[in-house]
Chain A
Amino acid sequence: MQVNQEFKPTIVAFCCNWCSYAGADLSGTNRLQYPANVKIIRIPCSCRLNPMFILRAFQRGADGVILCGCHPGDCHYTTGNYYARRRMTLLFSMLDFLGIERERTRVEWVSAAEGAKFAATMNEFVETVTKLGENKRLEDLRCKS
């Protein structure tokens, strides 16, 4: 697939406050670079992520949405990420079922110590979404004028 050099996807990263947001901070502290297209939204726990937020992001112009949370078993709230895991699995499967590119959505577990993993994940995700190109299948043209 040809990579469109011009295209800079908009990526929304929902990060749980306890692990992944801290992991993102750590990648900053360690000056690990990842593209500026990634914008992070802090949520208390991965289980706070409502599927509506993901669809909202796509509606408003996001090209990819990624959820980062504590590793299963390490949830600050004990079980939150287990629920998030089921919800996201089913949601992503449904989006795939509707023919929407599954590569636009992603869940990655990033601990507070995994600054490097955070940066690597973001780099890789941005690359994947850049290859996919603009989100056309779940767009709202009203928001793109």
Chain B
Amino acid sequence: MQKIGVFVCWCGSNIAATVDVQAVSDALAKEPGVVFSTNYQYMCSQAGQDMIQDTIKEYGLTGVVVCSCSPRMHEATFRKTCEKAGLNPYMVEIANIREQCSWIHKDKETGTEKAIILGRAAIAKVHLNAPLTAGQSPVTKRALVIGGGIAGIQTALDIAEAGFPVDIVETKPTIGGKMTQIDKTFPTLDCAACILTPKMVDAAQNENINILSYSEVESVKGFVGNFTVTIRRKARYVDETKCTGCGLCTEKCPQKKVPNEFNLGLDNRRAIYIPFAQAVPKVATIDPNYCTMLKTGKCGVCSKVCTAGAIDYKQQDELIEREYGAIVAATGFNPISMDKFDEFAYSQSPDVVTSLEFERLMNAAGPTGGTLLRPSDGTHPHTLVFVQCVGSRCDGGEKGKPYCSKICCMYTAKHAMLTREKYPDTDVYVFYIDVRTPGKNFDEFYRRAVEEYGVHYIKGMVGKVVPENGKLKVQASDLLGGQQLHIDADMVVLAAAIEPDKSARPLATMLTASMDTNDFFTEAHPKLRPVESPTAGVFLSGACQGPKDIPDTVAQAGAAAAKVIGLLSKDQLTCNPCVANSNELMCNGCSACEKVCPYGAITYIDKDFRGPNRTTLRRRVAQVNPAVCQGCGACTVACPSGAMDLKGFSNAQIMAEVDAICK
């Protein structure tokens, strides 16, 4: 018989407002095995924790039930509290009477009644709890960063600085990501390349960083501290170790009509190419979709001109397998496709461009050499219309995204400002729903655009853009002026919403990391654990977790790195003790459990058992490796004899909860 203490938390008024905490602690005091029951304003406060510890000692408690907020919030806290008082931390159960009771009910009577039942269920469970001791597993002291944009680079640099080896896997031929395509950065207007390329070089030169460009993660196995990752190194048909990046091949390649993705298809590149001058690694890559040699077997120009002999048409994809202790997802974002927004005539006129395309058109290294020219006729535009929130903040429907893409207001202000600065003869209109500028020096920046640079900010949505006689007829409403506007524009720039990179979803599946409905990675806790995924050992960096600007990204990248460093600096990890275990006396050895185990934690041995009349029976029985088992419980249901059970969530415990709830 356990001696159980019950501690009911008011959570200020969060619980106490809809749950009569006194009634709950009184009711639970009458439950079998409960020797102490009380309520307190903030159980998680130091005073509350002290109270729990004192009670454990005074009453010799063998079990503790805390009726409070979600166990996802403070289970760990209370476990630690009890451990300090000498009670096994797994003798603690939390009854969630805040998120799943007080916050969802308005009627105090109902809330109180439910809280008592939830408390009873927790008490019933604690009766069957057994002290558990966590095992240990070693940590592979190497990290994997998936994605080589600014987020990935910064994370890798920080981890490497702390002395741990780190691999960056980047699907493109070069690291750098979206930031390489950006011209200037807000609100300081310094050149993106100037601040990014040194970091890229740092990454390349850091002894602890190993860049696996033009590579993709193929599969992930294992668990925190012990991941095994298979990485596909795509064939680039150029020997990375030999290529000097001289670029001769990219000049001689006869296949000149390949849309240049670095410039978003605004110009062309060759079939063998280096994405841009500062690429890291600065190695040429053959695009197999366009290379005549690879497609027809005839050409071989690049091979002839390459003095280093780096060209290898026979190169194959290579799969490499590596061990990591931690994985950081930094898969970044993309602007959404404009297919569904043809009211802005994106598909009809080349002069309707997205903001990222506009970045390229303004960039000195871009297709126009930094001169703003209309893509259609190469003339200088005089009237520009910027449309905000294209695909952002769309509630419902399939057209856009429900969220705010966060960066558009600022980069549009930047674009408008830069346009007006370079070409004061232009008229610049910005149509917006709201202008959101919550950031250091952000609002000042925006106001400069309006006040100093004379950008016309108009609150209202653009209804339609119609290309007509070389002009773009923009129909819009001015909400403040209460009138319909018609503007004959030369160019229209769409602030396309951003969305997570398409590779994130399959990656999340491999990592068993959860995602939200928009395919952004879910953080373990939105406030308290913003850079960790709920899956232990998987961390989040940059826009894959949610829309971010560069400063936020870099900050989060550093935070993720700090978490990784914290993990890798441990020699041993404490395992989850809530693992499966097999009762050998009942095990049939049928292998059903082994088949459903996602971690390969179950093996079989032949073991001798005492049979009747002093005989020995040899039976095949399952054994669980507690360091590998993650405690999902799939095996417990696959097992027909019930030999397999899960510590901490045993059949008996769950059924006791069921009984208490249904009573």
B-binding residues in A (CB < 8 A): 10, 12, 17-19, 21-22, 24-29, 31-34, 36, 39-45, 47-53, 56-57, 60-62, 70, 73-80, 83, 87, 111-114, 119, 143
Contact of A25 among B100, B111, B514, B651 (CB under 8 A): B100
- A25-B99, A44-B578, A74-B509 given; A113·B662 CB < 8 A: no
- Point out the residues of chain B lying under 8 angstroms from A31, CB to CB: 103-104
- A53-B654, A113-B522 given; A75·B512 CB < 8 A: yes
- Shortest Cβ distance from B109 into A: residue: A36
Let me know if B100 and A47 touch, CB within 8 A. no
Let me know if B534 and A40 touch, CB within 8 A. no
Q: How far is the CA of A12 from the CA of B630 in the complex (A)?
A: 25
- Shortest Cβ distance from B648 into A: residue: A44
Q: Tell me the B630-663 residues at the A interface (CB within 8 Å).
A: 630-634, 636-638, 646, 649, 651, 654-655, 657-659, 661-663
- Point out the residues of chain B lying under 8 angstroms from A41, CB to CB: 121, 654, 657-658, 661
Count of B interface residues, CB-CB < 8 Å: 51
Let me know if B104 and A32 touch, CB within 8 A. yes
- Shortest Cβ distance from A70 into B: residue: B514
Contact of B661 among A10, A22, A29, A73 (CB under 8 A): A10
- A76-B512, A78-B512 given; A50·B663 CB < 8 A: no
Which of A60, A62, A77, A119: most chain B Cβ within 10 A?
A: A77
Q: Tell me the B212-251 residues at the A interface (CB within 8 Å).
A: none
- Point out the residues of chain A lying under 8 angstroms from B118, CB to CB: 39
Let me know if A52 and B651 touch, CB within 8 A. yes
Check if B376 is an interface residue, CB within 8 A of chain A: no
Let me know if A36 and B72 touch, CB within 8 A. no
Give chain A nearest CB distance to B222 CB in angstroms. 11
Q: How far is the CA of A27 from the CA of B55 in the complex (A)?
A: 33
Contact of A45 among B110, B111, B634, B658 (CB under 8 A): B634
What are 23 A-B interface contacts by the 8 Å CB criterion? Answer: A18-B514, A25-B99, A28-B100, A31-B104, A36-B111, A36-B114, A39-B118, A41-B121, A41-B657, A43-B654, A44-B578, A44-B649, A45-B634, A47-B632, A48-B637, A52-B651, A57-B661, A61-B662, A75-B512, A76-B512, A79-B596, A112-B514, A113-B517
- Point out the residues of chain B lying under 8 angstroms from A10, CB to CB: 661-662
- Point out the residues of chain A lying under 8 angstroms from B99, CB to CB: 24-29
Let me know if B654 and A61 touch, CB within 8 A. no
Knowing that A33-B106, A60-B662, A111-B517 touch, tell me 20 more A-B residue pairs with CB under 8 angstroms: A19-B514, A28-B70, A29-B103, A39-B661, A41-B654, A41-B661, A43-B633, A43-B654, A44-B632, A44-B633, A45-B632, A50-B654, A57-B658, A60-B661, A61-B662, A74-B508, A74-B514, A75-B512, A113-B522, A143-B662
User: What does the 1/0 interface line of B498-523 toward A look like (CB < 8 Å)?
Assistant: 00000000001100101111000010
Check if B456 is an interface residue, CB within 8 A of chain A: no
Give chain A nearest CB distance to B206 CB in angstroms. 33
Q: How far is the CA of A80 from the CA of B512 in the complex (A)?
A: 11
Give chain A nearest CB distance to B77 CB in angstroms. 16
Check if B374 is an interface residue, CB within 8 A of chain A: no
Let me know if A77 and B662 touch, CB within 8 A. no
- A12-B662, A56-B655, A113-B522 given; A83·B637 CB < 8 A: yes
- Point out the residues of chain B lying under 8 angstroms from A42, CB to CB: 71, 96
Check if B210 is an interface residue, CB within 8 A of chain A: no
Q: Tell me the B100-122 residues at the A interface (CB within 8 Å).
A: 100-101, 103-106, 110-111, 113-114, 117-118, 121
Let me know if B596 and A83 touch, CB within 8 A. yes
Give chain B nearest CB distance to A10 CB in angstroms. 6
Contact of B632 among A39, A48, A143 (CB under 8 A): A48
Q: How far is the CA of A62 from the CA of B661 in the complex (A)?
A: 9
- Shortest Cβ distance from A76 into B: residue: B512
Check if B598 is an interface residue, CB within 8 A of chain A: yes
Q: Tell me the B506-549 residues at the A interface (CB within 8 Å).
A: 508-509, 512, 514-517, 522, 534-535
Check if B184 is an interface residue, CB within 8 A of chain A: no
- Shortest Cβ distance from B505 into A: residue: A73
Q: How far is the CA of A34 from the CA of B99 in the complex (A)?
A: 12
- Shortest Cβ distance from A26 into B: residue: B99
Check if B98 is an interface residue, CB within 8 A of chain A: yes
Q: How far is the CA of A70 from the CA of B663 in the complex (A)?
A: 28
Let me know if A12 and B658 touch, CB within 8 A. yes
A-B contact count (CB 8 A): 161
Let me know if B598 and A78 touch, CB within 8 A. yes
- Point out the residues of chain B lying under 8 angstroms from A79, CB to CB: 596, 598, 634
- A41-B661, A50-B651, A76-B514 given; A36·B110 CB < 8 A: yes
- A44-B633, A70-B514 given; A56·B661 CB < 8 A: no
Give chain A nearest CB distance to B582 CB in angstroms. 16
Contact of A50 among B70, B71, B515, B636 (CB under 8 A): B636
- Point out the residues of chain B lying under 8 angstroms from A53, CB to CB: 651, 654-655, 658
- Point out the residues of chain B lying under 8 angstroms from A18, CB to CB: 514, 534
Give chain B nearest CB distance to A41 CB in angstroms. 5
- Point out the residues of chain A lying under 8 angstroms from B636, CB to CB: 48, 50
- Point out the residues of chain B lying under 8 angstroms from A47, CB to CB: 596, 632-634, 637
Q: How far is the CA of A109 from the CA of B70 in the complex (A)?
A: 20
- A10-B661, A36-B113, A61-B663 given; A24·B100 CB < 8 A: yes
Q: How far is the CA of A70 from the CA of B515 in the complex (A)?
A: 10
- Point out the residues of chain B lying under 8 angstroms from A36, CB to CB: 101, 104-105, 110-111, 113-114
Let me know if A25 and B104 touch, CB within 8 A. no
Let me know if B637 and A33 touch, CB within 8 A. no
- Point out the residues of chain B lying under 8 angstroms from A75, CB to CB: 512
Let me know if B104 and A33 touch, CB within 8 A. yes
Contact of B634 among A25, A52, A74, A80 (CB under 8 A): A80
- Point out the residues of chain B lying under 8 angstroms from A48, CB to CB: 632-634, 636-637, 646, 649, 654
Let me know if A77 and B630 touch, CB within 8 A. yes
- A40-B96, A47-B596 given; A77·B512 CB < 8 A: yes
- Point out the residues of chain B lying under 8 angstroms from A57, CB to CB: 658, 661-662
Let me know if A111 and B516 touch, CB within 8 A. yes
Q: How far is the CA of A113 from the CA of B655 in the complex (A)?
A: 28
Give chain B nearest CB distance to A117 CB in angstroms. 9
Q: How far is the CA of A51 from the CA of B70 in the complex (A)?
A: 26
- Point out the residues of chain A lying under 8 angstroms from B578, CB to CB: 44
Let me know if A80 and B598 touch, CB within 8 A. yes
- Point out the residues of chain A lying under 8 angstroms from B654, CB to CB: 41, 43, 48, 50, 53
- A10-B661, A28-B100, A34-B104 given; A50·B514 CB < 8 A: no
- Shortest Cβ distance from B107 into A: residue: A36
- Shortest Cβ distance from B630 into A: residue: A77
- Shortest Cβ distance from B578 into A: residue: A44
Give chain A nearest CB distance to B640 CB in angstroms. 11
- A47-B632, A56-B658, A77-B632 given; A83·B638 CB < 8 A: yes
Let me know if A45 and B514 touch, CB within 8 A. no
- A36-B105, A60-B662 given; A25·B72 CB < 8 A: yes
Give chain A nearest CB distance to B343 CB in angstroms. 30
Give chain A nearest CB distance to B265 CB in angstroms. 32
Contact of B659 among A24, A33, A45, A56 (CB under 8 A): A56
- Point out the residues of chain A lying under 8 angstroms from B663, CB to CB: 60-61, 143
